[in-house]
């Protein structure tokens, strides 16, 4: 079997186009321009690229984009004061603080300070809790993108055996919670899991969010399974050049799986598209209006 390749880049383009139409409709009928603020503390090169991409995508969708860059020595009090200013700014509907933060800044304290209504990353405990009990919530962008791709590929997810490898607060746990909401039978695996290959082999839907290059091998995958590879790992090839690979050994997995996301071009593009979609959702909820169905 050769797996269908799930084209996250193309799917993300359709999500971004829809967001663009929604923004136009909101401007025309409600005079509302959704606004997203991204806060970057320090000079982490990967974070700088992410923040730049987020800013460009936000502007391209017709939204207001504000980038706040603070130097690496910024204190926690200064970060909190920026968050407080953004919480109070009615032209900003979404706030994202780029992680990781420098050691002197307590990540949980900063995430906790973001107004849950503007928490477009969905990391605030209020949103985590609301999502877990089935109330409207801001949902973390990466798991949301994965669910959208799965539903697009498989339709109703009820009854599927889903295995999520990884239990981080930003990917693994919210991913498992969303799959449960979709009525999957969910197993969460992690570094203490016994017989990880055997656990993975039981999966109709396998989500890899580990951060270990190509750890999940072809013979860990059930024939016909749908594999979503969240991992982004930069490795050095034999010729000294670098390349991005996922947590799944793509070459092996594509011979066994029914469908698989590539790295790059799978989950990654969907994450930014979902951030834009979440910002529209947040703006509409704050204005007390329905999201335009365009
Ligand atoms: P974390 O490092 O926070 O979590 C990794 C998880 O994998 C942990 O739960 C850990 O278990 C588990 N793990 C580590 N080693 C093993 C092992 N040998 N066997 C089984 N489980 C293991 O990572 P993140 O969740 O933040 O990210 C995961 C990956 O996803 C990374 O490659 C990251 O770059 C990528 N990512 C991609 C995004 C995108 O937009 N595409 C967005 C966010 C992340 P334990 O808890 O027991 O330590």
Residue 46 has what pLDDT?
Answer: 87
Q: Is the pLDDT of residue 1 over 80?
A: no
* 3-class secondary structure, 37: strand
Please state the rounded mean pLDDT for residues 95-113: 97
What is the distance of C-alpha 256 from the center of its chain? 26
Residue 82 has what pLDDT?
Answer: 98
Residue 112 has what pLDDT?
Answer: 98
Residue 237 has what pLDDT?
Answer: 92
Q: Is the pLDDT of residue 131 over 80?
A: yes
Tens digits of residue pLDDT in 180-232: 999 999 999 999 999 999 999 999 999 999 999 999 999 999 999 999 999 99
CA atoms of 79 and 82, how far apart (whole Å): 5
Name the helix (H) or strand (E) containing 70.
strand 64-70
Span from the CA of 249 to the centroid of ligand 1 (angstroms): 15
Nearest partner of 230 among 261, 214, 209, 216, judged by Cα: 209
At 264, is the pLDDT very low, low, confident or very high (cuts 50, 70, 90)?
very high
The per-residue b/e assignment along 43-80, b for 16 or more CB within 10 angstroms, e otherwise, is ebeebeebbeebbebbeebbbbbbebebeeebebeebb
Q: In the chain, which residues fall in CATH 3.40.50.10860?
A: 28-131
Residues marked active site are found at: 54, 98, 121
Mutate to test the pocket of ligand 1, among 142, 143, 171 (most ligand atoms within 8 A of CB): 171
Phi, psi of 249 (to 5 degrees): -75, 95
- Percent of the chain clearing pLDDT 70 (strictly above): 100
Mutate to test the pocket of ligand 1, among 9, 57, 172 (most ligand atoms within 8 A of CB): 172
* Minimum-distance ligand 1 atom for the alpha carbon of 270: 40
Span from the CA of 167 to the centroid of ligand 1 (angstroms): 7
Task: Identify the residue whose C-alpha is closest to ligand 1 atom 6.
Answer: 166
Average pLDDT, the chain: 97
The CATH class given to the 141-269 domain equals alpha beta
Q: Is the pLDDT of residue 29 over 90?
A: yes
Nearest partner of 37 among 105, 124, 98, judged by Cα: 98
Please state the rounded mean pLDDT for residues 139-148: 98
Between the two ends of the chain, the Cα-to-Cα distance in Å is: 38
Span from the CA of 36 to the centroid of ligand 1 (angstroms): 27
Q: Is the pLDDT of residue 158 over 90?
A: yes
Q: Is the pLDDT of residue 107 over 90?
A: yes
Span from the CA of 67 to the centroid of ligand 1 (angstroms): 27
Task: Identify the residue whose C-alpha is closest to ligand 1 atom 15.
Answer: 191
Please state the rounded mean pLDDT for residues 3-8: 98
Tens digits of residue pLDDT in 74-102: 999 999 999 999 999 999 999 999 999 99
Q: In the chain, which residues fall in CATH 3.40.50.720?
A: 141-269
Span from the CA of 200 to the centroid of ligand 1 (angstroms): 16
Please state the rounded mean pLDDT for residues 237-261: 96
Ligand 1 neighbours by CB, cut-off 6 Å: 142, 165-168, 170-172, 189-193, 196, 209-212, 230-233, 267-268, 271
Where does 122-274 show beta strands of DSSP type E? Answer: 161-165, 185-189, 205-208, 226-229, 233-236, 242-245, 259-260
Which CATH topology does 28-131 take? Rossmann fold (3.40.50)
């Amino acid at each position: 079997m050769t797996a269908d390749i799930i084209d996250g880049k193309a799917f993300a383009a359709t999500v971004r186009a829809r967001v663009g139409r929604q923004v136009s409709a909101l401007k025309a009928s409600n005079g509302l321009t959704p606004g997203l603020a991204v806060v970057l503390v320090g000079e982490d090169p990967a974070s700088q690229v992410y923040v730049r991409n987020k800013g460009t995508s936000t502007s391209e969708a017709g939204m207001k984009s504000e980038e706040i860059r603070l130097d690496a020595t910024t204190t926690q009090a200064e970060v909190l004061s920026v968050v407080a200013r953004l919480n109070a700014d009615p032209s900003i509907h979404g706030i994202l603080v780029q992680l990781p933060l420098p050691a002197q800044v307590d990540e949980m304290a900063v995430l906790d300070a973001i107004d849950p209504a503007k928490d477009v990353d969905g990391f605030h405990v209020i949103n985590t809790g609301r999502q877990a009990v089935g109330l409207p919530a801001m949902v973390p962008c990466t798991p949301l993108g994965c669910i959208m791709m799965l539903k697009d590929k498989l339709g109703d997810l009820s009854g599927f055996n889903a295995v999520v490898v990884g239990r981080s607060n930003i990917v693994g746990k919210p991913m498992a919670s969303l799959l449960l909401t979709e009525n999957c039978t969910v197993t969460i695996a992690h570094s203490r899991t016994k017989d990880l290959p055997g656990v993975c082999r039981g999966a109709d839907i396998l989500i890899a969010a580990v951060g270990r290059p190509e750890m999940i091998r072809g013979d860990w995958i059930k024939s016909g399974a749908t594999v979503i590879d969240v991992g982004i790992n930069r490795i050095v090839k034999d010729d000294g050049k670098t390349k991005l690979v996922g947590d799944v050994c793509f070459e092996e997995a594509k011979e066994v799986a029914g469908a698989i996301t590539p790295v790059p071009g799978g989950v990654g593009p969907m994450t930014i598209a979902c951030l834009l979609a979440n910002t529209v959702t947040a703006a509409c909820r704050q204005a007390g209006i329905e999201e335009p169905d365009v």
